[in-house]
Amino acid sequence: MFATRKRGCDPLRVFGNQPVKVASAAKNVTITNKGTTSVTMGAITLSETTDFAIFSNACPPSGSTLAPTASCIVGLTFKPQSTGAKKGVLLINDSDPTSPQLVGMSGTGTSTVTFSPASVTFAAQTVGTTSSATKITLTNKTGAAVTLGAHAVSASGPFLTTAATTCTNNKVVAINGTCFIYAEFKPTASGYAAGTVTVTNRDATSPQTVDLAGIGTLIKFNPSVVNFGIVAVGIPVSGTVTMTNVGPTTVTLTAATINGGILGKDFSASGSEPPCGGSLAPAGTCTFTVFFTPSIVGSESATFLVFDSSVGSPQALSLTGQGQ
């Protein structure tokens, strides 16, 4: 048997928080041949070399052997090049049948140019449509004024920043000062999507990043939100909603429900069960009616949920209204 261990610990190295562009202290991985025969060593490499490095390697070179019960040590360091969570793997290749053996590595790059929230996960969004904007606050905690870069803010993946963003090119952010980034999600395909907002500036930790994520879905509601407005208590009102499959394959619809807690009973929907007769072809549409009969004076809200075979199910349609 061939194993990686450090005083019997699991093969995982957690570096924790580390300032951007500052190398951590080394963490050692002890590689032990627990078998009864020698093992021929191969290459020892990293899956991610931007933020992690092999600091030292006292193991036999590739092609040489590690005797039974013998051990050797590999030292690892973490020097994040940008803010945010980082992950990597140490790969140990050898002649053992379990090769390669893997040691996970993780750490988080930090900066005194901070963001709130530090990451954003958007609600499920129909492919080809744009979400509402989420505000990200940048705060300068460096102890000195910070000048943003000539191209201060950018976004990757199916994510955008809006014109309302105040972290503008070459802006000077005072000590403890703030500016705002407004990010949107516009998926181009169904499924999970990831990206980042990147901010450049003259601080030593530049660039700083904010991780973004979201799920693109294939069901589109029109309107995307139903607001019944102000309605007299006990008087029913209705609205028509069109549901469209914007994807390339047929979507199977299995059920629908309204989630609204105790007051959810004030909202209802017509149509078949399951919705749309159970399926919706590519570019296909169907319509249904939603109703609101307020039982109280004040604002009410609920969510119409459609369960289906596409990514991001259940699809959600917000319903709002106010009784008077």
Mean pLDDT of 299-310: 92
Say yes or no to pLDDT of 261 above 90. no
Task: Reply yes or no on whether the pLDDT at 7 is more than 70.
Answer: no
Q: How big is the chain by its Cα radius of gyration, in Å?
A: 27
Q: Give the model's pLDDT for residue 247.
A: 86
Q: What confidence score (pLDDT) does residue 124 get?
A: 87
Does 20 have pLDDT greater than 50? yes
Residue 4 pLDDT more than 60? Answer: no
Distance CA 304, CA 221 (A): 11
Instruction: Give pLDDT tens digits for 182-195.
Output: 999 999 988 899 99
Mean pLDDT of 41-51: 95
Give the lowest-confidence range in 7-21, 50-64, 213-227: 7-21
pLDDT, tens digit (0-9, with 9 covering 90-100), for 55-85: 999 999 999 999 999 999 999 999 999 888 8
User: In whole numbers, what is the pLDDT of the chain averaged over residues?
Assistant: 92
CA separation for the pair 64, 43 (Å, rounded): 11
**Mean pLDDT for the stretch of residues 98-107:** 94
CB atoms within 10 A of CB 195: 20
Residues ≥6 apart with Cβ < 8 Å to 317: 221, 224, 225, 226, 241, 290, 303, 304, 305, 306
176/3: higher pLDDT: 176
Q: pTM to 2 decimals? A: 0.72
User: Which pLDDT score is estimated for 6?
Assistant: 34
Alpha carbon distance 28, 48 (integer Å): 17
> Of 35-44, 102-111, 303-312, which gets the smallest average pLDDT?
303-312
> In sequence order, what are the residues at sequence separation of 6 or more whose Cβ sits closer than 8 angstroms to the Cβ of residue 29?
4, 6, 11, 13, 73, 74, 75, 76, 90, 103
pLDDT for 310 equals 85
Q: How confident is the model at residue 10 (pLDDT cuts 50, 70, 90)?
A: low
Domains of the chain: 2-110 (2.60.40.10), 113-217 (2.60.40.10), 219-323 (2.60.40.10)
> What is the spatial distance between Cα 210 and Cα 84, in angstroms, rounded to a whole number?
7
Please provide the size of the chain in residues: 324
Give the tens place of pLDDT for each residue, 314-324. Answer: 989 999 999 99
Beta strands in 48-174 (DSSP E): 52-57, 65-66, 71-78, 84-94, 101-110, 113-116, 119-121, 125-126, 134-140, 146-155, 159-161, 172-173
